[in-house]
């Protein structure tokens, strides 16, 4: 993580960690979808005791995704009482706002950091504005009130969050945790606040940074808000690991948050996971659902076939495919893609040109009953020819 390494995708389970089978199944689902780190709640003795067994079962399933333990309030007790769990986890997340009050704050924090040092584990110091260290924040507010021109509330919150993260990191280093074993995050739930707090902290330090818009919401709203916030920061060169904290929708897989992260990274050309399909939105020029269905079918085919392609055709993930709805932008986009197809619009000549590497490869008849099959065959032939290791 960090430096020139690729941006890492993280996710988090929502099963009770003590329910070993359910947790193993969900970690596997998230890892299969492309999550490269999975965080689990470690909130009580049962959850803590379950971790080594979860790791064992995942290993038996050939799933080796690193697991991060998420600790609040009692992490110092759990990590001390369960050394096997402390060893089995790959990283600990400590929230400095939830480690105790007064003298206990530093004492409990130090206990967890010392366990991390003993087991050679990295630590994420994860500040969240919903659980900001209240003693630190109150002091900041009091100091602010004494200023001739007090800053506004949000500004004080942002400064307190940054201070909580950096002071905790400095303390962890003083205790002996190496600089490169520390990850920071300062999550907020409003897009502009989140961008602002990360821009400020990233200018002050070079710790590995985990980005996330906390409590982003569900579905379209959550994905749009997270993409806006993460996209701006990533474009500015900030952030080493990312997560989209989406509220789950009933009946929708938890892996949506992972797929959304992949789509974001690929759409910004930061990482590539599978061939991308450029398709137009359709408009009054398309008089049937034919092109919409074809675009959907090609996307589904790529998703299903990618695990196989990945093993045999390195580089295929960068391929570009176009599925377009009419002559206006169809041929242009199709020529730009590696493989492209342009279906005829309502008042156009009923022919379907297919382009390969910018050249017209063939033209199908508008009423060809095997458009999808032919296009998939062309796709497969192209991939085998262009991306085979032996080619
Ligand atoms: S390519 Fe044609 S069908 Fe697609 S949106 Fe543009 S004009 Fe409409």
pLDDT for 261-272, tens place per residue?
A: 999 999 999 999
Nearest Cα neighbor of 248 from 215, 274, 276, 280 is 215
Quote the pTM value: 0.94
Tokens of 235: 């474009």
Q: Express as a percent the part of the chain with pLDDT over 70.
A: 99
Q: How many A from CA of 362 to the centre of ligand 1? A: 21
- Ligand 1 atom 1: residue of nearest CA: 329
Instruction: State the Cα–Cα distance between residues 294 and 304, nearest whole angstrom.
Output: 15
- Contact between 93 and 71 under an 8 Å Cβ cutoff? The reply is yes
d(CA 235, CA 199): 12
Question: Residue 391 pLDDT > 60, yes or no?
Answer: no
Cα–Cα nearest to 239, from 215, 212, 217: 212
CA–CA dist 85, 56 (Å, integer): 12
Distance, in Å, from the CA atom of 324 to the CA atom of 189, rounded to the nearest integer, reads: 37
Q: Residue 325: CB within 6 Å of ligand 1? A: yes
Does residue 188 register a pLDDT over 70? yes
Establish whether residue 362 lines the binding site of ligand 1, counting it when its CB lies within 6 angstroms of any ligand atom.
no
Q: Model confidence at 182, in pLDDT bands (50, 70, 90)?
A: very high
Closest ligand 1 atom to residue 281 Cα is 5
Evaluate if residue 321 carries a pLDDT over 80. Answer: yes
Q: Which pLDDT tens digit goes with each residue over 39-81?
A: 999 999 999 999 999 999 999 999 999 999 999 999 999 999 9
Query: What atom of ligand 1 comes closest to residue 286's alpha carbon?
Result: 3
User: How far, in Å, CA of 155 to CA of 173, rounded?
Assistant: 27
**In the chain, what are the domains?**
8-267 (3.20.20.20), 276-387 (3.30.413.10)
- Using alpha carbons, list the distances in angstroms from residue 207 to 3, 203, 345, 357: 9, 11, 53, 43
Residue 75 and residue 382: Cα distance in Å, rounded?
53
- Say what the pLDDT of residue 1 is: 80
């Amino acid at each position: 993580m960090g430096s020139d390494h690729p941006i890492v995708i993280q996710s988090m389970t929502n099963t009770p960690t003590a329910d070993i089978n359910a947790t193993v199944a969900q970690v596997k689902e998230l890892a299969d979808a492309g999550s490269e780190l999975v965080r689990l709640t470690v909130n009580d003795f049962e959850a803590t005791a379950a971790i080594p067994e979860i790791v064992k079962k995942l290993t038996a399933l050939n799933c080796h995704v690193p697991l991060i333990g998420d600790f609040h309030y009692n992490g110092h007790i759990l990590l001390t009482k369960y050394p096997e769990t402390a060893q089995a986890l790959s990283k600990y997340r400590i929230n400095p706002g939830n480690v105790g009050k007064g003298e206990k704050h530093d004492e409990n924090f130090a206990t967890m950091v010392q366990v991390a040092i003993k087991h050679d584990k990295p630590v994420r110091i994860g500040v969240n504005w919903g659980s900001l260290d209240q003693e630190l924040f109150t002091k900041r507010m009091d100091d602010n009130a004494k200023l001739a021109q007090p800053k506004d509330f949000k500004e004080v919150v942002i400064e307190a969050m940054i201070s909580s993260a950096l002071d905790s990191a400095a303390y962890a280093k003083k205790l002996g945790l190496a600089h490169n074993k520390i990850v920071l995050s300062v999550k907020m739930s409003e897009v502009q606040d989140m961008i602002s707090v990360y821009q400020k902290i990233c200018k002050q330090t070079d710790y590995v940074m985990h980005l996330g818009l906390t409590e982003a919401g569900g579905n379209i709203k959550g994905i749009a808000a997270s993409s806006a916030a993460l996209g701006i920061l990533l474009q500015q060169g900030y952030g080493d690991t990312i997560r989209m904290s989406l509220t789950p929708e009933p009946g929708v897989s938890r892996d949506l948050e992972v797929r959304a992260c992949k789509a974001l990274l690929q759409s910004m050309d930061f990482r590539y996971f599978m061939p991308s399909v450029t398709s137009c939105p359709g408009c009054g020029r398309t008089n049937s659902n034919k092109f919409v269905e074809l675009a959907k079918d090609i996307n589904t085919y790529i998703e299903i076939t990618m695990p196989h392609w990945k093993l045999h055709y390195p580089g295929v993930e960068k391929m570009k495919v176009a599925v377009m709805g009419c002559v206006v932008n169809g041929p242009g986009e199709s020529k730009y893609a590696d493989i492209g197809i342009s279906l005829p619009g309502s008042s156009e000549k009923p022919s379907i040109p297919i382009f390969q590497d910018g050249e017209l490869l063939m033209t199908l008849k508008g009423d060809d009953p095997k458009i999808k099959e032919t296009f998939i065959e062309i796709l497969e032939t192209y991939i085998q020819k262009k991306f085979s290791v032996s080619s």
